[in-house]
Amino acid sequence: MEYLWVHDMPTILLVDDDVDSLWLLQVILVGRGYHVLLAEGGEAALNKAAQCLPDLIVTDWNMPGMDGIALCERLKFYPALAQIPVVMASGRVPPKEKSTLWNVFLSKPVDLGALESAIDALLAKRLSSPQTRINAAAPAACRWQPISSKLWV
């Protein structure tokens, strides 16, 4: 498996068990200049997030196996993943006790303008934070690649 680092292109991980929804959102977001990763469920999304640390995750709530809530709960267990902003999409009403697991909740069918605004706002906040990126001389092919020894001097 080969990973490509794309400079100045925020990476968004899209998670949904509906392949048509993934495809539609991918086309729209790639057209807006984002690098997009796809996962067809929570478990696959957790693995991809751990491998490549996306800048933002857009997930469906209702999925077989690990649903969107379980995915958000699991992301919070890992310090490197806990700070990734999440947009949750669902036809359900969000439970109040779980609202801290995601940053934005959008009702389905998702209004694309609202999704784009949420993504823009969350990424602007995340990418302007000094703790978002490792201060390395050159980005690794994947963010899990070992850090060079000269950073530890």
Mean pLDDT value across residues 122-143: 59
Q: Which pLDDT belongs to residue 92?
A: 85
Q: What does R_g of the chain's alpha carbons equal in angstroms?
A: 15
Q: What percent of the chain has pLDDT over 90?
A: 67
DSSP secondary structure, 40-105, as one string: SSHHHHHHHHHHH--SEEEEES--SSS-HHHHHHHHHTSHHHHTS-EEEEESSPPPGGGGGG-SEE
pTM of the model as a whole: 0.79
Q: Which pLDDT belongs to residue 9?
A: 87
Q: Which pLDDT belongs to residue 91?
A: 86
Enumerate domains of the chain plus CATH numbers: 11-152 (3.40.50.2300)
Top mean pLDDT of 19-33, 96-110, 126-140 is at: 19-33
Q: Which residue has the higher pLDDT, 153 or 85?
A: 85
Q: What percent of the chain has pLDDT over 70?
A: 76
Per-residue pLDDT tens over the stretch 60-97:
999 999 999 999 999 999 999 999 999 999 988 876 66
Q: Which pLDDT belongs to residue 130?
A: 65
Q: Which pLDDT belongs to residue 100?
A: 84
Q: Which residue has the higher pLDDT, 129 or 75?
A: 75
pLDDT at 119 over 80: yes
- Give the DSSP H or E segment for 35: strand 35-39
Q: Which pLDDT belongs to residue 112?
A: 94
